[in-house]
Amino acid sequence: MVVMENVRKVYESSNTVALENVSFTINDGEFVFLVGPSGSGKTTLMKLITGEVRPTAGTVIVNDFNMGAIKRRKLPKMRRTLGVVFQDYRLIENMNVYDNVAFAMRVVGAPNSEIRKRVPYMLELVGLEGREKRMPTELSGGEQQRVAIARALVNSPRMIVADEPTGNLDPVRSLELMLLLEKINEMGTTVVVVTHEKELVNAFSKRVIKIDSGKMIGDGMDGYYE
Ligand SMILES: Nc1ncnc2c1ncn2[C@@H]1O[C@H](COP(=O)(O)OP(=O)(O)OP(=O)(O)O)[C@@H](O)[C@H]1O
Ligand SMILES: [Mg+2]
């Protein structure tokens, strides 16, 4: 779950108030779109959730961790409760599809027997069976995006946060990806999708949190973004 209370984020270097007085709660099991125009503060919100940036003021709680006060050495433990999908995938270029996903399990010390069961299951879930040996450069954009999702989910996080996950996909692939995230949500994972794609948001009937110029301008179940 995510709790934001009167969150303010100022980037001193650019003298920018990126977020001002933002408050909302996302409960376990929810599916939420976080929307707004370019520069409105969406990625900043996501980085507050992952712990990449800290709030200037206000409270950020993620899966029971207080992100404004969390000790650096506690961050890995917190991050293990979270699956993150970056806009630019961030796949490991010299590892094949299987190893990109398996690596996420190896770094948290999962036993090999578990890795051998879990990785094929995840690759099947995202529709990448048969692609195990391919290198990232031998995949389409949509396939790379699905590797990133498999990797984010492989350690069974409580929540997955995806920043513009459909950024480089065509409309059909974008819709497929959203349906996949919906399926993952139905299996119990909390899903937060950051996007500025109106058509996509409006094709679903989900909770939509809207921000503009760093301020919350809407939060509703209407699922509409105009
Ligand atoms: N690391 C940073 N240092 C200084 N200013 C920043 C930094 N990151 C973002 N900003 C500024 O903070 C504001 C919000 O940026 P943010 O990246 O959160 O927007 P966004 O909604 O994700 O935009 P986009 O849709 O273009 O990705 C912008 O004015 C941006 O220039
Ligand atoms: Mg952004």
Output the domain CATH number for residue 50.
Answer: 3.40.50.300
Q: Pocket around ligand 1: residues whose beta carbon is below 6 Å from it?
A: 11, 13-14, 16, 18, 36, 38-44, 196
Last residue of a domain, one of 106, 125, 156: 156
Ligand 1 midpoint to CA 16 (Å): 9
* 120 & 75 share domain: no
* 76 & 166 share domain: yes
Q: What's the whole-model pTM score?
A: 0.92
* 112 & 66 share domain: no
pLDDT for residue 206: 94
In the chain, how many domains are there?
A: 2
pLDDT for residue 97: 98
* 140 & 40 share domain: no
pLDDT for residue 172: 83
Last residue of a domain, one of 156, 176, 208: 156
* 225 & 172 share domain: yes
* 33 & 107 share domain: no
* 71 & 4 share domain: yes
Nearest residue by C-alpha to atom 7 in ligand 1: 11
Q: Given ligand 1 and candidates 35, 43, 164, 198, which is best to mutate, with the most ligand atoms within 8 Å of its CB?
A: 43
Residue 121 belongs to domain spanning = 88-156
Strand order in the sheet with 207-212: 82-85, 159-163, 190-195, 31-35, 207-212, 215-220
* 28 & 62 share domain: yes
Last residue of a domain, one of 156, 183, 211: 156
pLDDT for residue 88: 82
Ligand 1 midpoint to CA 158 (Å): 26
* 174 & 68 share domain: yes
Query: For each of the chain's 226 residues, which pLDDT tens digit applies?
Result: 999 999 999 999 999 999 999 999 999 999 999 999 999 999 999 999 999 999 999 999 999 999 999 999 999 899 999 999 988 889 999 999 999 999 999 998 999 999 999 999 999 988 899 999 999 999 988 899 899 999 999 999 999 999 988 877 788 888 888 998 999 999 999 999 999 888 889 999 999 999 999 999 999 987 777 7
